[in-house]
Amino acid sequence: MNAPFRVGAIALALAISASAHGATTLTVASFPSLDEGIKAAIPLYKKIKPDVEIKLVSLAFGDHHNAMTTALATGSNLPDVMAVEVGFIGKFAESGGLEDLNLAPYNAKQYANKFSKFTIPQATGGSGKLAALPVDIGPGALFYRKDLLDKAGVSEAELTKSWDGFVEAGKKVKAATGAYLLANAGAIKDIYIRSGLKDGEGIYFNSKGEIEVTSPRFVKAFELAKAARTAGIDGKIGAWSNEWSEGFKRGQIATEMMGAWLAGHLASWIAPNTKGLWRSAQLPGGSFGSYGGSYYAIPTKAANKAEAWEFIKFLSLNKDMQIEAFRKLDAFPALIEAQNDQFLDQPIEFLGGQKARQLWKVSADKIPAVDVDKFDPIAAEIVNAELEKVLEQNKDIKQALADAKSQIERRVRRK
């Protein structure tokens, strides 16, 4: 789960210091809006563990992961329970600063089949260590403004049949409504490079650690993004910016592709005024990919490991807790038992009464178990920079990807 909120950084150190004075105070470091799940869990957990106090420390998404990176490197200011967004799992798993949950006394391997199949590989490092348990997942979904598509005479089938058709549909939407089909052409690349993979394959690196960014998958992703930019159907707007949210509020952006959790963000704070106008569909071209997801880990130097493990199990393996987070946050549960709950059959008012959660479950079942690499964030940063050169400076795509590969080789020392 992603979210762009800001909270004072000093809170983390103060809270951890406070916890040191109470053996039953469990410090949980998280970020908005995942932290809402912790707030929901505290009174429920108190009923079964009345002697445990939960101290929640929440920092903005980027600040949280920067703080945890520093804490793991220095071994200080570490919480008992650490939230980790999926994009940071590989890096944190390889740091050596997190407990291996496959080992005793955790023995988490026994729970692997209880979660969507792609979640445990995402949290497993190259050495086979399990760094964290999942709490929510982000089945990739397309959200679209039905009223704008109707005005343009574009059907959902036309929009999703293929990626090339998606771009062509965007031209009709722009001509008929003036709205951009999508905020930024880079979103196409983000989804496309995550789709079409098989179990055990990585996004940026293969199982041998070889760099994959010059593969046809990346070439096509760049070509599609370039086609969208050339057609003038993207607004060149960065996600989570004020311009991005205003674009949704004003009907200037007709679609967005992210995890299923975006529905909750649209409804609660991004564009609540557009209630009933949105629908959700599977990604174009029969693509299925994971976009976001949240985990909880235990630092090796945590003060209360046993209690931390009990709380993580409560968050991850308790069906009622998973459904509670689903109700409050639209955080799609990682636990399969929760995915089969009748709550998924309920219509979503914001999406015009659509029973979209069943759609997202179909996606979750088809997402491959992709391997993560500790250098994925570095590769993503470099690839994004090269895509920007393609889009803004008309750089040749194959040259851009070749340059990206060379830069990644230098940064990760894999030649």
The per-residue pLDDT for range 250-262, each reduced to its tens digit, is 999 999 999 999 9
pLDDT at 21 over 70: no
> 228: Cβ–Cβ under 8 A, 6 or more apart, which residues?
167, 170, 181, 182, 185, 188, 234
Residue corresponding to tokens 């086609």: 227
Task: For residue 333, count other CB atoms closer than 10 A to its CB.
Answer: 29
pLDDT tier at 152, thresholds 50, 70, 90? very high
Q: By three-state DSSP, how is residue 300 classified?
A: coil
Q: Please check whether residue 166 is in contact with residue 159, taking contact to mean a CB–CB distance below 8 angstroms.
A: yes
Where residue 355 falls (left for φ over 0; alpha for ψ -120 to 50; beta otherwise) is beta
CA–CA gap between residue 294 and residue 292 (Å, rounded): 7
Q: Over the stretch 74-132, which tens digit does the pLDDT of each residue have?
A: 999 999 999 999 888 888 887 889 999 999 999 999 999 999 999 998 898 667 889 99
What is the structure's pLDDT at 414? 58
Q: Helix, strand, coil shares of the chain as percentages rounded to 5?
A: 50, 15, 35
Q: Over the stretch 295-327, which tens digit does the pLDDT of each residue have?
A: 999 999 999 999 999 999 999 999 999 999 888
Residues paired with 140 in a beta bridge: 259
